[in-house]
A and B are shown apart, each in its own frame.
Chain A
Amino acid sequence: MDVLLQQFFNLDIMAKALPLVLQGLKTTLLICLIVIPMGLIGGVLVALASRSTVRALRVSVTLLVDLMRALPPLVVLILVYSGLPFLGLRISPLTAVVIAFFLNNAAYYGEIIRAGIESVPAGQWEAARSTGLRADQAFTWVILPQGLRNVLPDLVSNTVEVVKLTSLASVVSLQEMLYSADMARSLTFNASPIVLAALIYFALLWPAVRLVSRLEHAAAR
């Protein structure tokens, strides 16, 4: 029991690791602030493209979405980070993470948003257009807000996944929270910094997970 406490819940070590882990948390949050909005915007574009009348656009977006859903995100990340230099493009770990996660997020958010858009009755579109709104105005003010609201639980749920996904960035030596915690672990020969990071992830995401449950409950009623 003592060993367990010493190795996993060592408060002294946690206190020592805290500044480093918090430094990593900042990077984690920075990644989130970049990739979540980008992914949402990309998702709207993917949703639009997948409903386009232009066949070539539909096909290429379907290809992207299928690829991203079938490939492990880690593979995409390493491919971007280690592959692009072969094309003469040297990129920072952060850029690689942003590119890889953008592709991944756009695909997943895109599928969710497409389902949301398709759940809005055709009459909404007709009513909006009948008052003289252009297609883009009808989409922005009438269709999209309703579509997003209809899939809100899925959007929040996917966002939780995105935050968890940021821990993959440690693989390309981006010093986000997991990377920092693991560094602290190797310096202290103790797992407590990892537990600390886990606790912070939990504190960060648990409210969101609860929110998803409540939203799903509300939607089922």
Chain B
Amino acid sequence: MSEASELSAGGTGTMRPPHPLLDIRGLHKSFGTIEVLKGIDLAVSPGELVFLIGPSGSGKSTLLRCYNRLEEASGGSIWFDGQEVLADRIDINALRRRMGMVFQSFNLYPHMTALGNVTLALRKVLKKPRAEAERIGMAALEGVGLAHKAASYPGELSGGQQQRVAIARASALEPGLMLFDEPTSALDPELVGSVLQAMRDMRAAGMTMLVVSHEMRFAREAADRVVFMDGGVIVEQGPPEQIFGSPRHERTRAFVSEVAR
């Protein structure tokens, strides 16, 4: 047993329900000879908002990208909704559309309108007819307050608006889990609020969310659990009050006081 998994077991206490939506066991990831993830155990319950924090290079984003296999894990297992994600014969595309992902750099398709961005997978993956896809797409844009920008191209939108379109693009597919990879890091400060609001709305609607972010205020306010990673392991996890108020581990304390300044 590694130090990390002992601590993680302590952090969640007895609150963990029997059937987590996402269950990661002993996840390893190496790039060449560099081991980025050194045995991660993490379970996320339905409806939970889990925040991943830690210094850059601690493996948070890599961990997130292993869940939907944008990165291939080197070892360990990932269970999502009763399916083994890393199995050879899994339908990875069916799985991915049930795990929405939002990227730091938005990654909207620049040659399509906002509505086109949202409806592409509805039409090509879920095979919805155009009219139905557009109805669902408009509802998703409405959900992030951007129905009036449906005909705009990404280049005509602010960063905050682009990120909200990206959120709509993922949520239109009705995923069971949303992965956020530093969703506000590329935004000007005045645009962060609208994206966080969209995430809050999503949370209020009961979405399970896993968020890599440096927005500590948001973590404190919205997270059910905060997971602190450093050096490829989970150092400590627990409710925000614990991590930000009285962290048990020295490295957590150092990091939290550093970002709080």
B125 at the interface (CB under 8 A from A): yes
- Complex-state Cα separation, A132 to B124, whole angstroms: 9
Q: Are B70 and A149 in contact (CB under 8 A)?
A: no
A132 touches B101 (CB 8 A): no
Please choose the segment from B44-52, B107-115, B135-143, B210-218 that sits at the chain A interface, where 4 or more of its residues have CB less than 8 A away.
Answer: B107-115
Nearest residue, chain B, Cβ from A126: B70
Interface 9-mer from B92-100, B201-209, B248-256: B92-100
Q: Is the CB of B173 within 8 A of A131?
A: yes
Chain A residues with Cβ under 8 A from B110's Cβ?
A: 146
A-chain residues with CB within 8 Å of residue B124 when the two chains form the complex:
133, 137, 141
Question: B111 near A133 (CB under 8 angstroms)?
Answer: no
Is B170 part of the contact surface with A, judged by Cβ < 8 Å? yes
Instruction: State the total of A-B contacts with C-beta under 8 angstroms.
Output: 65
Collect the chain A residues with CB atoms within 8 Å of residue B169's CB: 127, 131
B66 CB → nearest A CB, Å: 13
Q: Which residues of A contact B94 (CB under 8 A)?
A: 132
A100 to B77, CA, bound (A): 53
CB < 8 Å: which of A123, A129, A142, A146 contacts B96? A129
Q: Does residue B233 face the partner (Cβ distance < 8 Å to A)?
A: no
Report chain B residues within 8 Å CB of A128: 109, 120
Residue in contact with A129 in the complex, picked from B70, B100, B173, CB distance below 8 Å = B70
- Indicate the member of A126, A132, A133 with the most B CB atoms within 10 Å: A132
List B contacts of A137 (CB < 8 A).
124-125
Rounded to whole angstroms, the CA-CA distance of A146 and B107 in the bound complex is 13
Question: Hey, which chain B residues are within 8 Å of A142, CB to CB?
Answer: 109, 120
CA distance A126 to B101 in the complex (A): 9
The count of residues in chain B whose C-beta lies closer than 8 Å to any C-beta of chain A is 26
In the complex, A85 has a CB within 8 A of chain B: no
Interface of A, secondary structure class, is helix
Given A131-B169, A131-B170, A132-B93, A123:B105 Cβ within 8 A: yes
State in angstroms the CA–CA spacing of A155 and B94 once bound together. 36
Bits for A97-132, please: 1 = Cβ < 8 Å to B, else 0: 000000000000000000000000101101111111
Report the minimum CB–CB distance from A92 to chain B (whole Å). 41
Known: A132-B173, A133-B93, A137-B124. A126 touches B103 (CB 8 A): yes
Report yes or no: A132 in contact with B109, Cβ–Cβ below 8 A.
no
Contact assessment for A133 and B105 in the assembled complex, using a CB-CB cutoff below 8 Å: no
User: Is B96 within 8 A of A131, CB to CB?
Assistant: yes
Give Cα distance in the complex from A145 to B120, angstroms. Answer: 14
B163 within 8 A of A: no
B111 touches A132 (CB 8 A): no
Contact between chains at B120 and A133 (CB < 8 Å) = yes
Contact between B125 and A127, CB atoms less than 8 A apart: no
Q: A55 interface residue, CB < 8 Å from B?
A: no
**Is B68 interfacial (CB 8 A cutoff)?**
yes
User: Nearest chain B CB to A134's CB is how many angstroms away?
Assistant: 6
* Residue in B93, B99, B109 whose CB lies within 8 Å of A127: B109
Residues of B close to A121: CB separation below 8 A: 105, 107
Closest to B118 in A: A131
When distances are taken between beta carbons in the complex, the residues of chain B under 8 Å from A130 are 68, 70, 96, 99-101, 170
Q: Do B111 and A145 have beta carbons less than 8 Å apart? A: yes
Q: Chain B's nearest CB lies how many Å from the CB of A183?
A: 47
- When the two chains form their complex, are residues A141 and B120 in contact, meaning their CB atoms are under 8 A apart? yes
Pair B107/A126 contact, Cβ less than 8 Å: yes
- Across-interface contacts of B111 in A (CB, < 8 A): 145-146, 149
29 residue pairs bridging A and B, Cβ less than 8 Å apart? A121-B107, A123-B107, A124-B109, A126-B70, A126-B101, A126-B107, A127-B101, A127-B107, A127-B108, A127-B169, A128-B109, A129-B96, A130-B68, A130-B70, A130-B96, A130-B99, A130-B100, A131-B96, A131-B125, A131-B170, A132-B94, A132-B95, A132-B96, A132-B97, A132-B173, A133-B121, A133-B125, A134-B93, A141-B120
Binding site for B on A (CB under 8 A): 121, 123-124, 126-134, 137, 141-142, 145-146, 149
Closest 9 CB pairs of A and B: A132-B97, A127-B107, A131-B121, A123-B107, A130-B101, A132-B125, A132-B93, A132-B96, A137-B124
